[in-house]
Amino acid sequence: MRSSEVRGQPFFRVTFLLYIFFAGYLGTGESVKARTAPPQKPESFRQLEASVVSLKFFATETAKAAPMPLRAYNTDFIRADTHYIWWQLQLHAKAERDKPVRMLIKAVWQRPDGTEFRQSQTVTIPADSQYPCLAAGWGSTQQGTWLPGTYRVTILVDDVPVVRGEIEVFEKLLKGH
């Protein structure tokens, strides 16, 4: 019996080494890809073949958006001068369509203290609109109601996050002013 055990050991060693070699080799290379969930696109984005062009911010003194040519885009705002801050979402819609597309827009503003304010609106993108521009503001008729610090804004379309941005509200721009 001992002679068969001695003869089997080299075969076992070679088989084991080949197994380790191929097991390590077969698990590497281009054929192995990381498993990640495919990015989720809002239904209205699929209908429009839409993509985000930009997210910008601007301020107004009233609860009415300024006409586009008069908007001064910024990410830094002085607390004492700021009433309303608006986000503006620019899209590119590639799909040709013969009817309008409805979309639910939600904006989640995270204040510097971590609390949140949420806005939502349903908008209809006209059939002939290739670069729709959406905007909504938040604020007060009184100056100085914004807390100093960083605000994070997340825009969701059909409950899917599509873009995030940040703005900063300062107590004063420069000391002595």
CATH number, domain containing residue 125: 2.60.40.10
**pLDDT tens for each residue of 43-65:** 999 999 999 999 999 999 999 99
The answer as to whether 89 is a domain residue is yes
The answer as to whether 5 is a domain residue is no
Say what the pTM is: 0.74
The answer as to whether 33 is a domain residue is no
The answer as to whether 102 is a domain residue is yes
Give residue 89's domain range.
Answer: 43-170
Task: Round to the nearest angstrom and report the end-to-end CA distance of the chain.
Answer: 98
On the 0-12 / 13-18 / 19+ scale of CB atoms within 10 A, 14 is exposed
Domain total in the chain: 1
**pLDDT tens for each residue of 127-146:** 999 999 999 999 999 988 99
What are the E-state strand segments in the chain?
A: 50-60, 76-78, 84-93, 101-110, 116-125, 133-139, 149-157, 160-170
The answer as to whether 9 is a domain residue is no
The answer as to whether 175 is a domain residue is no
